[in-house]
Amino acid sequence: MRWLATFAALAAAVSILLAQDAPAPEAEKPAEPAAAEKTALASAAYFVLRNRCWNCHGEPGKKAWGETVPLDWILDYDRLIEAKLVVPGKVKESRLVYMTVLGKMPRAYDEHGKPGKTAELSEPEQAALTNWVRAGAPRWPEPKYTHEWVPVGAPEEMAASQAHLFTAHDGVLRFMKSDEGWSTAVLRGESWQPAPLGEAPPVTSTPAADGRTTWLTATDAKARQTFVVRWDGTKVEPVKERIDGVFEGLSLMPGRDGNLVELAALGRRVIVNDTDEIFQPGAVSHVLGPNGWKPGELPKFPATWVFRHVTRGKDGRLVLLAEKDRRNIAAVIEQTAQDWDIQRWEWTGNRITKLQFDPQAESLLAVVDGQAQIRRRAPDGFGPVAAFQPFAGLLDCAWDGARTRWTALATLGEDHTQTWALVPWRK
């Protein structure tokens, strides 16, 4: 029987070959899409649902405001089919599609944080959904998220009392304190290598736009000055000019328009000299260009916000994290023609000791009560916790600029440390 099957397969192959050679029949119905094409269509549809719908309809147990039947499973392929929101091959019968064609979905949040009445899908987004359903709504490949921190290399024999990690273009920079004082290293590949980074930890860092250097800020408490140094992978070099004043809540971000770097002091207190303490409810910034520092421009924010971290996301938009009445606010700020458009997302946190974005602001790290939480970026905020790791002795965390992953350092027992890594998403 087996040869019969083989023969049938061969015959089929031959007829396919023949069909390819033969001129195409006039009214040919659309060919069954090839596997790769199906995957592409499905992924495109998934991407639209993930980016435009998931924030209201994706978090299990969460209802969109005013929703009577919670649709908290929009990325659950099987349920979409089961509930007939998607009818494979039938665009007009698929509620998911016509809700968007009619312009009823998606919606945008209004200024009160509730779903408003309008917002629409762009033409390519609409087409992604329609083409997918028309092609028989093939199943999308489940995206792989790593929800766990995985160890990087072997534990190191090192009794650390303190450590600070900084994002660099070539990995992560580490300042670690033991009985012998500070030691410095850079994480390259899967291991820490000694690196001459200076005597004491800086305050904040950012990889430069050129991808070959990293800026670090430090403060000179005695001289009451703030300065910037540059790490090129082998040594640190000071940038000549300094700024008077020691700022609370410093962030660095790559500058725009050819500016080298922007230093944003987001804390409320700016110490100008020995005696003066000026409380500044907003935020100040300085831009380092080829001709030295000049005042930068930051949007006006509510005076009750306490800033924690700012970065410049894709397309130059500012993304910042703030705290208000001990609630945490992650605000995505885009500069529109006339004004600042503030989209925000709030959650109540306990004691947050570190808040940081990756450089593209696609994920957020919060260290809450000694645990490291990662949240993924969604269009209107930051999605559910992807990882919540109870490190016993978490020392510090930072984004790894070379490997696009989060890195954490924790003590293991008394005289060992272990490095961990977490990839927040993977396409």
Which residues would be at the binding site for ligand HEC (CB under 6 A)? 52-53, 55-57, 64-67, 71, 85, 95-96, 99-100, 105-107, 109, 115, 121
Question: Each residue of 393-402: b (16+ CB within 10 Å) or e?
Answer: ebbbbbbbbb
Closest approach of ligand HEC to the CB of residue 110, in Å? 9
**Nearer Cβ to ligand HEC (177/376):** 376
Q: Quick count: other Cβ atoms within 10 Å of Cβ 177?
A: 17
What is the C-alpha separation between 55 and 77, in angstroms, rounded?
A: 16
Q: Closest Cα partner for 85 from 158, 40, 137, 150?
A: 137
* Complex with ligand HEC: residue 44 or 239, whichever CB lies closer: 44
30 Cβ contact list (under 8 Å, min separation 6): none
Min CB(396)–ligand HEC separation in Å: 36
Q: Which residue is nearest to ligand HEC (CB)?
A: 53
Closest contact distance (angstroms) between CB of 141 and ligand HEC is: 20
Minimum CB separation of residue 139 from ligand HEC in Å reads 18
Question: What single DSSP character describes residue 266?
Answer: -
Nearest to 322 by CA among 270, 244, 264: 264
The answer, yes or no, to whether the previous bond of 106 is cis (omega within 30 of 0) is yes
Q: How far is the CB of 107 from ligand HEC (least distance, A)?
A: 4
Q: Looking at this protein, which amino acid is placed at residue 176? A: M
Closer Cβ to ligand HEC, 89 or 113, answer by number = 113
**Nearer CB in complex with ligand HEC: 70/393:** 70
Q: Which residues pair with 286 in a beta bridge?
A: 263, 295
* Nearer to ligand HEC among residue 50 and residue 309 (C-beta): 50
Q: What angle do CA 276, 278, 283 make, to 5 degrees?
A: 145
Return the number of the residue (253 or 332) whose C-beta is nearest ligand HEC: 332
Least CB distance to ligand HEC at residue 86 (A): 10
Bridge pairing between strands 214-220 and 284-289: unpaired
Shortest distance, CB of residue 68 to ligand HEC, whole angstroms?
A: 7
Of 107 and 286, nearer to ligand HEC (C-beta) is: 107
Q: Please report, as a single letter, which amino acid is at residue 324.
A: K
Nearest approach, Cβ of 87 to ligand HEC (angstroms)? 13
Q: Which helix (H) or strand (E) holds 250?
A: strand 250-254
Residue burial 120-145, b: 16+ Cβ < 10 Å; e: rest: bbeeebeebbbebbbbebbebeeeee
Q: What type of residue sits at position 203?
A: V
* Closer residue to ligand HEC in complex, CB, 55/184: 55
| DSSP run (H or E) holding 17 | helix 2-21
The per-residue DSSP string of 172-219 comes to: EEEEEEETTEEEEEEEETTEEEE----SS--SEEEE-TTSS-EEEEEE
Cβ-based neighbour number of residue 160 at 10 Å: 21
Least distance in angstroms from the C-beta of 234 to ligand HEC: 48
Instruction: Provide the residue type at 25 as one letter.
Output: P
Token representation of residue 161: 């009392």
Q: How far is the CB of 132 from ligand HEC (least distance, A)?
A: 12
Nearer to ligand HEC, 254 or 383 (CB): 383
Q: Which is nearer to ligand HEC, 99 or 284 (CB)?
A: 99
Closest to ligand HEC by CB, 64 or 320: 64
Q: How far is CA 62 from the centre of its chain?
A: 22
Minimum CB separation from ligand HEC for residue 364, in Å?
20
DSSP state of 143: P
